[in-house]
Chains A and B, each alone.
Chain A
Amino acid sequence: MTDPVLQISGAGMRLRGRDLWQGLDLDLAPGEFVAVLGPSGSGKTTLLRAILGLQRLTEGRIRVAGRPVRRGNRRVGYIPQQRPFPLGTSMRARDLVALGVNGTRFGAPIPRPGDRARVDALLAAVGASRYADDPVGSLSGGEQQRLRVGQALADQPPLLLCDEPLSSLDLRNQRAVTHIIDEQRRETGAGVLFVTHDINPVLGSVDRILYIAGGRFRLGTPDEVLRSDVLTDLYGSPVEVVRTGGRLLVAGVPEGEPHHPHHDHDHDDDSEGGF
């Protein structure tokens, strides 16, 4: 058994007097794909922030690749939610990817030998070579999101954190971005923790699901977690899981999840710290 890339043990998070989750245990094996589901405000994004070392746990501990979490850990790649770059943003596609390579270097901004080759390789890995020199503002949401994936892969991190990377993408691009992430974990053995409100685009790749709701959580395979009785118990009110036409629908979730047209609301559980 290989060592887990992410170990969460007995973790609890209290934010503004409210328990988001408690007693959270999760071992993420290399190459494993775990989806994190749950309604808005259940603390999914906060969990990612805790793993990034941006938010302190109230209790318990988190280890990444065997070491305690810390800010700026190069062993963690982070793929944020797609927020479109406006037209006229002074950045080319390759520059967005290059920020993963040189963005944290203080001092004179002189490129190092090999930087360009690294960026080219990352662009190729996410299928973005064709539009590498186009301004990001002129690219579609799906194209921009591939670049964000490329940026996150810059240091070949053994752990990939994805925070709703598919939201606001169309079905084709959802598949494409999922495929890139899936391929990456198979090739490099990176563990993937994937926060999403819709399980369907990643259902084919998911090994386990962490479902957080109402301060509690369930962890298990999709068949173990995505069941009417399990979710009814988790939410404390009747919830129905329906499988239809190869898609999985969760009906009756109290807070109106999974539909949340305004994506910023999903980050309401964060403090003022950005995001």
Chain B
Amino acid sequence: MGIAIRPALSWSDVFSFEDYGELLVLMRNPLIAAIALGIVGGLIGVFIMQRDMAFAVHGISELSFAGAALALLVGGSVVFGSLAGAIVAALIIGLLGARARDRNSIVGVLMPFGLGLGILFLSLYEGRSANRFSLLTGQIVAVGDTDLAWLLGISAVVFVGLIVVWNPLRFDSLDPQSAEARGLPVQGLSLVFMLLLGAIVAAAVHIIGALLVMALLVTPAAAAMRIAHGPVAVPLLSAAFGLVSAAGGILLAIAGTLPVSPYITTISFAIYLVCRIVAWRRDRVVASRRTRAEAH
């Protein structure tokens, strides 16, 4: 008797709604950043999927991490560092990897290099150790006013950029041969896309961490594409899923003591799972209807 086994993790660590209001005020900046990033990340995710660039996103994020780590080491702006790293990676991948196979090998080469470089810079860095892993797994709590302005600025630029090239980029992503034949500047479009992608990846590294950017840039779009096909429905759903994942993750994280990232990744994964199940059920119905129609 009397031996109380204390679990390492109690439910109050995961969810606890004491002092929620006060904490919410403290998390105002991260929440605003996450909302912007969730929406824009969901939108660009549609193009990432259509252009088959999920792996490239990962490569960009690792170099973005290296840039941020270098900035931390030399005492520069971390947002600027991650932006520089991401843009460099995006341009390298965009210029050298026009074909999918080339691109995958370039990403495969860049990724460990970026990650290794980042770890090197972090190990040389002697500041607060809390900052170290947060670049990899998210540091949303530490969004100051200047950072927030940067993140919102990046999201706005990417949003406007996407809107400007929306239709031609869609054409080039879905039907590249015909897009080129119709005279679209396909190389220019691809370069613009890579720049926008680099910028939003850099922002996402700040919110959710280099290792987890896919949860905001790829998963929402992948989920939306499971259940919708239309040119309006897919981006709207994807942006909504991104928003719910990012903002929902933070709102839940406020109630617990765990980091934000696992909440965001879990929500976005759960959405994806639900979409898959919905699509699977629907496709079964459609398939049986088609078989019946063809039998007649």
Contacts and interface: CB of A to CB of B under 8 A. Distances in A.
Interface of A: 52-54, 70-73, 76, 78, 80-81, 83, 88-92, 95-96, 98-100, 102-109, 135, 138, 148, 151-152, 161, 272-275
Contacts of B183: 52-53, 70-73, 104
Q: Provide the main secondary structure of the chain A interface.
A: loop
A70 B181 CA distance: 11
Contact of B229 (A83, A92, A100, A102): A92
B50 A90 contact: yes
Interface stretch (B77-85, B163-171, B210-218, B264-272): B163-171
A73 B228 CA distance: 33
Main secondary structure of the interface of B (DSSP, over half): helix
Contacts of A108: 163-164, 166
7 contacts: A52-B183, A76-B181, A80-B177, A91-B231, A99-B171, A106-B164, A152-B178
A272 to B, nearest CB: 7
A99 to B, nearest CB: 5
Interface residues on B, range: 20 to 34
Contact of A91 (B98, B174, B286): B174
Contact of B168 (A52, A73, A105, A148): A105
Interface of B: 46, 49-50, 98, 163-168, 170-171, 174-184, 186, 224-226, 228-231, 234, 286
A104 B168 contact: yes
Contact of B180 (A96, A135, A152, A273): A273
B230 A95 contact: yes
Nearest to B46: A90
B229 A91 contact: yes
A98 B166 CA distance: 14
Contacts of A53: 183
B168 A103 contact: yes
A106 to B, nearest CB: 6
A135 B229 contact: yes
A106 B165 contact: yes
Interface centre among B50, B164, B176, B177 (most CB of A within 10 A): B177
